[in-house]
């Protein structure tokens, strides 16, 4: 049987991983094959992934991750009441879920989000507006957060238009406000 090498974690996710404290818990939403779960687990983070189909992630990760099978678009939020130190979302957009996702972050929690944006229809799928972020939409969603980095533009290999953000919830666990100098770039 031919074994395929696991997909690498997104360079955006890799870039902002050092902002997490050692042992910080990570939730990967729409985790797919588990590439980001593997990335964080290999760095000592407890990881949880949720997806409609967890088959590939289960095969790739085994006991390294907590995996939850759930339809995020039609079913209830399967992690009600749970909070994580970091939330990772790549190549997925379901606007009705966004407030729930942000509520799943601990105070001082980190959001790393990267998905397709308006303009991607020129390069392929997704092409429907409901699956493409509009200009500055992630900035609007994270308006109450401390934004460390934001980008919107064309990536190559393969060509695609994305929007991505790294942002912290506005307060630390003790209630003090986040400060920009706490996050080296």
List the domains of the chain with CATH numbers.
Answer: 28-153 (3.40.50.150)
Q: How far apart are CA 44 and CA 174, in angstroms?
A: 24
- Looking at per-residue confidence, does 37 or 173 come out higher? 37
Q: In this structure, are residues 13 and 31 in contact, taking their beta carbons and an 8 Å threshold?
A: no
At 170, is the pLDDT very low, low, confident or very high (cuts 50, 70, 90)? confident
Report angle CA 3, 7, 9 to the nearest 5 degrees: 150
Residue 104 burial (10 A CB sphere; 0-12, 13-18, 19+): buried
Q: How far apart are CA 36 and CA 118, in angstroms?
A: 24
For the chain, counts of helices (H) and of strands (E): 5, 7
At 134, is the pLDDT very low, low, confident or very high (cuts 50, 70, 90)? very high
pLDDT of 137 > 80? The answer is yes
């Amino acid at each position: 049987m031919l074994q395929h090498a696991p997909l690498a974690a997104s360079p955006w996710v890799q870039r902002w991983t050092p902002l997490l404290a050692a042992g910080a818990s990570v939730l990967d939403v729409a985790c797919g094959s588990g590439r980001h779960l593997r990335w964080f687990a290999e760095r000592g983070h407890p990881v949880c992934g949720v997806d409609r189909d967890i088959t590939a992630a289960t095969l790739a990760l085994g006991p390294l991750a907590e995996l939850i099978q759930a339809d995020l678009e039609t079913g209830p939020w399967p992690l009600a009441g749970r909070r994580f130190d970091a939330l990772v979302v790549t190549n997925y957009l379901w606007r009705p879920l966004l407030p729930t996702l942000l509520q799943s972050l601990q105070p001082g929690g980190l959001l790393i989000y990267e998905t397709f944006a308006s303009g991607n229809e020129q390069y392929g799928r997704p092409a429907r507006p409901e699956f493409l972020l509009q200009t500055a939409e992630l900035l609007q969603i994270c308006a109450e957060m401390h934004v460390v980095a934001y980008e919107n533009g064309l990536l190559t290999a393969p060509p695609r238009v994305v929007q991505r953000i790294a942002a912290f919830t506005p307060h630390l666990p003790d209630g003090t406000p986040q400060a920009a100098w706490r996050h080296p770039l």
